[in-house]
Amino acid sequence: MPGPVKDAPPVERALTTDDRLALDKFDGDEDPFIVVETELCKTCALKPCLYVCPSQVYRWENGQLNYNTEGCIELGACTIVCPKLGNGAIRWSYPRGGKGVEFSYG
């Protein structure tokens, strides 16, 4: 049986969204740039934030909305869909200068 091929190129696989997000740096801010009135989310019929956020900042677990600002890539889609299709529970703004996400992967 032949041995391994010498100098074989590494096996490449497509990076998942989580793989790509793990390459970004996040400098947290003591002032939150995302504030959610989670009680309003309990009565939201569509919960659009769960579907529009590419980095899945918002998750529905055990009957309530949980969110992690450190995963935010600052797209701002949640602040558009929540008032239009949801209950208007999300208040979002860009983090203060020098804080927030720093992209490492294009």
User: 69 is in which domain, residue-wise?
Assistant: 32-93
Q: 35-82 pLDDT, tens per residue? A: 999 999 999 999 999 999 988 899 999 999 999 887 788 888 999 999
Note the pLDDT of residue 67.
92
In a domain, 23, yes or no: no
pLDDT band at residue 85 under the 50/70/90 scheme? very high
Question: If you count them, how many residues does the chain have?
Answer: 106
Q: For the chain, how many structural domains are there in total?
A: 1
In a domain, 74, yes or no: yes
- Residue that wins the pLDDT comparison between 98 and 86: 86
* Residue 93 scores a pLDDT above 90: no
In a domain, 70, yes or no: yes
**DSSP calls for 70-104:** GG-----HHHHHHHHHS-S-EEE-PPSTT-EEE--
What is the CATH classification number for the domain harbouring 80?
A: 3.30.70.20
The contacts of residue 71 (CB under 8 Å, 6+ apart) are: 21, 26, 55, 56, 57
Note the pLDDT of residue 15.
76
Q: 21-48 pLDDT, tens per residue? A: 666 666 666 778 889 999 999 999 999 9
In a domain, 68, yes or no: yes
What are 103's two structure tokens? 């992209």
In a domain, 36, yes or no: yes
Instruction: Kindly report the backbone phi and psi dihedral angles of residue 45, in degrees, each rounded to the nearest multiple of 5, phi listed first.
Output: -75, -45
